[in-house]
């Protein structure tokens, strides 16, 4: 028996289930192509096209622009399915969904321009690089917009090779000596992709840096002050329909953690698939058993990791339902609720990472071959869990502060470095930064 089956939630939709099931049917195909994606540094064309045909890159686009605006439960189930096949494909799905919601904070004319392209664009419509980083590039205010200086570089641009647009962070010095931090929207063709994504995991996520080689004028309609981002996210629910866009700013941002840690859980499910297959006929190196599945040690690992993965998945899905129920009720999230959900998701992701580690060690050296998907899950989950916004101990500290009532409540986006510094108007540190 594999990991437990999903019990359909009343909060999921027929559309979401169809996409989830469509992805699950493609798991063998996408998993087999993942090694090619590592070599390419992005998703293989066949994988990108297959996901696009299933509308995976329209999950969070408003219905008025031909999107689905799916709720948290649907998003979680679909992300789990994609990552079960390939962590990098899951990462691309998360980026596409998450930064769709950021685009919705721009002026409506820009939103319409961006999503008009989804009629013909194959793949994610938008990605981002160093938007919330301490280190961003400087820009200059000019009539009608801003000029971003040549030589600007932004790091960790996940999805850069596939997206039609990039949202990047810039800082503008004001006459009073303060700095305004801005999100600016660039078109593909206004920036170049740097060949610097050479990493141990999530190699197919195309998280390259991007740079501009000449001054770029960005009109005011493509600029959002980061200090206003929380209020603008709050306003999304008043402008667009769909359960996935019906929550406040905290709810919209906690979905990003749900999606990111859902990738880790999905990869654990994929690793467990491979574990069952590879232990069936492989014999132990030193013990006299017909196969690994007949050794007590492997049986113990199987029992443990199945429960670990089940627990991680059920935690993610249960909390996704909480998000959707609050959206349906029109209830805002408190800072403490957001922090608790963040910790729950991060804990689930780390539990999934531990399960993958146990799976790899149970099988042994056969898993280190680059042709073996288990080693890729092990590397990819390590990279996912090192992401700054998803680290276990910082998340636990924030949750612990709330538990003991000693929290300095920053509240949602205000706790993100770039947004916090935007409110403080602190000086900008030039250079590519890490989100």
Average pLDDT score over residue span 424-429 = 62
Residues 98, 127: contact at Cβ < 8 Å? no
Average pLDDT score over residue span 104-108 = 98
Specify the pLDDT at position 434: 41
> 244-404 has which fold?
Butyryl-CoA Dehydrogenase, subunit A; domain 3 (1.20.140)
Residue 416 has pLDDT above 80, yes or no: no
- Give the angle 380-386-389 at the CA atoms, nearest 5°: 120
**CA-closest candidate to residue 414, choices 136, 225, 226:** 226
- Which pair of tokens denotes residue 78? 């679909």
- 64's CB contacts (< 8 A; 6+ apart) are 240, 241
Residue 7 has pLDDT above 80, yes or no: no
Among residues of the chain, what percentage have pLDDT more than 70? 92
DSSP string, 226-258: GGGHHHHHHHHHHH--SGGGSS-HHHHHHHHHH
Specify the pLDDT at position 390: 87
| Residue 123 DSSP label | S
Residue 208 has pLDDT above 70, yes or no: yes
Mean pLDDT, rounded, of the chain: 94
**Model confidence over 24-47: pLDDT tens digits?**
999 999 999 999 999 999 999 999
- Which pair of tokens denotes residue 381? 């989950």
| Residue 117 DSSP label | G
Specify the pLDDT at position 178: 85
Specify the pLDDT at position 414: 38
Beta-strand relationship, 165-173 and 126-129: parallel
Beta-bridge partner residues of 211: 153, 192
Residue 331 has pLDDT above 90, yes or no: yes
* Helix (H), strand (E) at residue 382: helix 373-386
Beta-strand relationship, 145-148 and 216-219: antiparallel
Average pLDDT score over residue span 253-258 = 96
Beta-bridge partner residues of 216: 148
> Looking at the chain, how many residues does it have?
435
Q: Hunting for tokens 């329909």 — which residue is that?
A: 241
- 146's CB contacts (< 8 A; 6+ apart) are 139, 140, 170, 172, 182, 184, 217, 218, 220, 223
Question: Is the CATH number 1.10.10.60 carried by domain 14-124?
Answer: no
The reply to whether 244-404 shares the fold of 126-226 is no
**What is this structure's pTM?**
0.94
- Give the other-Cβ count within 10 Å of 158's Cβ: 27
**CA-closest candidate to residue 33, choices 88, 81, 93, 111:** 88
Average pLDDT score over residue span 265-291 = 96
Q: Where do the domains of the chain lie?
A: 14-124, 126-226, 244-404
Residue 433 has pLDDT above 50, yes or no: no
Specify the pLDDT at position 408: 65
Q: What is the largest CA-CA distance in the chain?
A: 79
- Which pair of tokens denotes residue 269? 């499910």
- 391's CB contacts (< 8 A; 6+ apart) are 346, 385
Residues 131, 167: contact at Cβ < 8 Å? yes
Specify the pLDDT at position 412: 52
The three-state secondary structure class of 143 is coil
- H helix and E strand count, the chain: 13, 10
The three-state secondary structure class of 150 is coil
R_g of the chain, CA atoms, integer Å: 22
Residue 409 has pLDDT above 80, yes or no: no
Which CATH architecture group holds 126-226? Beta Barrel (2.40)
Q: How far is CA 399 from CA 338, 409, 417, in A?
A: 9, 11, 18
């Amino acid at each position: 028996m594999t990991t437990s089956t999903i019990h359909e939630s009343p909060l999921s939709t027929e559309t979401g289930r169809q996409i989830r099931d469509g992805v699950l049917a493609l798991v063998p195909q996408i998993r087999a192509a993942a090694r090619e994606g590592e070599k390419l540094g992005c998703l293989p064309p066949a994988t990108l096209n297959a996901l696009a045909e299933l509308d995976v890159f329209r999950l969070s686009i408003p219905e008025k622009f031909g999107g689905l605006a799916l709720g948290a439960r649907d998003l979680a189930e679909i992300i789990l399915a994609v990552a079960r096949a390939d962590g990098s494909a899951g990462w691309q799905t998360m980026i596409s969904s998450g930064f769709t919601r950021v685009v919705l904070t721009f002026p409506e004319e820009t939103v319409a321009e961006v999503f008009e392209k989804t009629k013909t664009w194959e793949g994610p419509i938008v990605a981002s690089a160093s938007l919330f980083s301490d280190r961003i590039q400087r820009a200059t205010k000019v009539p009608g917009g801003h000029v971003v200086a040549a030589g600007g570089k932004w790091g960790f641009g996940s999805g850069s090779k596939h997206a039609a647009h990039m949202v990047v962070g810039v800082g503008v010095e004001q006459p009073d000596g303060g700095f305004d931090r801005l999100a600016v929207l660039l078109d593909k063709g206004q920036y170049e992709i740097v060949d610097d994504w050479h990493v141990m995991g999530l190699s197919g996520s195309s998280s390259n840096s991007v740079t501009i080689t000449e001054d770029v004028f960005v009109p005011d309609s493509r600029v959002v002050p980061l200090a206003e981002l929380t209020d603008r996210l709050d306003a999304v629910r008043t402008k667009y329909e769909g359960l996935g866009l019906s929550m406040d700013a905290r709810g919209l941002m906690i979905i990003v953690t749900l999606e990111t840690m859902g990738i880790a859980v999905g990869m654990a499910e994929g690793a467990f698939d491979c574990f069952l297959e590879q232990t069936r006929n492989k014999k132990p190196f030193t013990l006299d058993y017909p196969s690994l599945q007949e050794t007590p040690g492997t049986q113990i690992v199987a029992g443990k990791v199945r429960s670990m993965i089940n627990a991680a998945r059920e935690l993610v899905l249960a909390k996704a339902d909480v998000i959707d129920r609050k959206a349906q009720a029109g209830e805002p999230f408190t800072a403490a609720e957001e922090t608790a959900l963040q910790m729950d998701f991060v804990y689930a992701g780390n539990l999934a990472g531990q399960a993958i580690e146990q799976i790899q060690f149970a099988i042994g050296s056969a898993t280190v071959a680059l042709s073996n998907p288990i080693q890729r899950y092990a590397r990819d989950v390590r990279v996912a869990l090192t992401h700054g916004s998803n680290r276990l101990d910082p998340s636990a500290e924030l949750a612990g502060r709330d538990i003991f009532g000693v929290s300095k409540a920053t509240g949602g986006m205000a706790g993100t470095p770039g947004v916090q510094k935007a409110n403080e108007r602190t000086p900008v540190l030039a250079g590519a930064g890490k989100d």
